[in-house]
Structure 1
């Protein structure tokens, strides 16, 4: 199995969206109690990779989503991956589609486990605000993460030479950052000018 993000896996040649959970998007920020933004979506993806990358998974299809992915409950051994991720505070119970992990989320919230120890917008709400426009989804997150024609991941700060003419295309993996530390931690380098 290969982990794509907090709720999406490649099992063999099949792209699988885990049923009943919604994890932060890879580019989604959280805010600490001190008001510091950080890349919790990247952090969640890495946590899920640490848990499951390369493991043998068994999946039970439930549906297909609008992107053509198989929506499934997946297991490693007897462990329900979705249940574990919600229990560990790495994903939300996706109540729009299922109440399977409702109690696990409530327990994680009470214990401030994982993402519940921070201020975070629901992934569904975050996706909606990201789709609405090409402007920064958060006025404090104005650093542009651009992918060059050669595939280099470069971030541009406001005021730099190419900042204004640099567009962000999330569908191509480009994104907004809230701090230089977040951009660097996500594997992006600063623009030279």
Structure 2
């Protein structure tokens, strides 16, 4: 059995400097969002990355309290969708990231949405960029809410995962937990029937493929640089592009 501990990443000045296009000009984006994933939405034509948190990737696996695999990335997206309830949001912009997404703290009357995602265990405090939600993460951890009920890999570590990746979550998990958590939702099957876009890195570029294009069937999804996406917008928000025709 692995013994796990609750931990957070150290603040990184270098990480802060990676945020592109930071601006002192305040901007507020208003409207009903389209939920892309657990930390990314679109309001109109504007792509918004929720600031100060990091949610599981769409194809990321976690383990539940019984040590069983579950699609926590899909669950985080669905939790945000259910919480939004098609209500209009108000998003206060702090800048932009390297993918040209607006970095923002969003709210509905009486509730900070960023805080809610961390407090109920659907995202982690992304202390590389902000310490604002550390207390909310601690409450989620103590309550074993959301992904804290079992075991998982922090999203920022999962994106560059290896056999040295740290496992977070419950007090104990099966001995083969790391092996399970290093996997994506499925090697060859889409994580959700609506998430069938394949993406992979080629010559340093992330390229996505839609069902029916000439490379789609040939593309195997059992490699570390492969990802599933639910929409072209989600793929592009993650820095991927369509293949050149």
TM-score by length of 2: 0.58
Deviations 1:14-70 (A, max 9, x none): 110001011111110001233311111111111111111522011111121111100
Which one of 142, 151, 157 corresponds to residue 125 of structure 1? 157
Question: Aligned pair in 2 of structure 1 residues 140, 80: CA closer, same or farther (>3 Å)?
Answer: closer
Alignment partner, residue 33 of structure 1: 65
Cα offset, 1:129, TM superposition? 2.4
**Higher fraction of helix:** 1
**Equivalent residue for 2:97, pick from 65, 68, 72:** 65
Aligned to 2:137: 105
How far apart, in 2, do the equivalents of 1:80 and 1:139 lie? 32
Q: RCO (CA 8 Å, sep 6+): is it higher in 1 or 2?
A: 2
Q: 1:108–1:137: structure 2 CA closer, same or farther, 3 Å change rule? A: closer
Would you say the 8 A contact 1:3–1:53 is kept in 2? no
Deviation, structure 1 residue 138: 3.1
Q: Structure 2 vs 1, CA of residues 139 and 100 (structure 1 numbering), >3 Å: closer, same or farther?
A: closer
Runs of 4+ in 1 over 2 A off after TM superposition: 32-35, 136-143, 145-152, 168-174
Question: For residues 30 and 17 of structure 1, do their structure 2 counterparts lie closer, same or farther at Cα, with a shift above 3 Å needed?
Answer: same
Q: Residue 51 of structure 2 is aligned with which of 3, 10, 19?
A: 19
What secondary structure sits across from 1:9 in the alignment?
A: strand
Q: Relative to structure 2, which stretch is displaced further, 142-151 or 67-76?
A: 142-151
* Unmatched runs of 5 consecutive residues or more in structure 2: 1-32, 163-179, 191-195, 198-208, 231-245
CA RMSD of aligned residues (A): 2.8
Secondary structure class of the residue paired with 1:90:
coil
Residue matched to 2:189: 145
Q: Which runs of 5+ in 1 are unaligned?
A: 131-135, 153-161, 175-193
1:167 corresponds to which of 220, 224, 230: 220
Output the TM-score relative to the length of structure 1. Answer: 0.72
Retained in 2: the 8 A contact 1:144–1:166? no
Find the residue that maps to 1:15 and give its secondary structure.
strand
- Gap change, CA 1:30 and 1:55, over 3 Å in 2: same
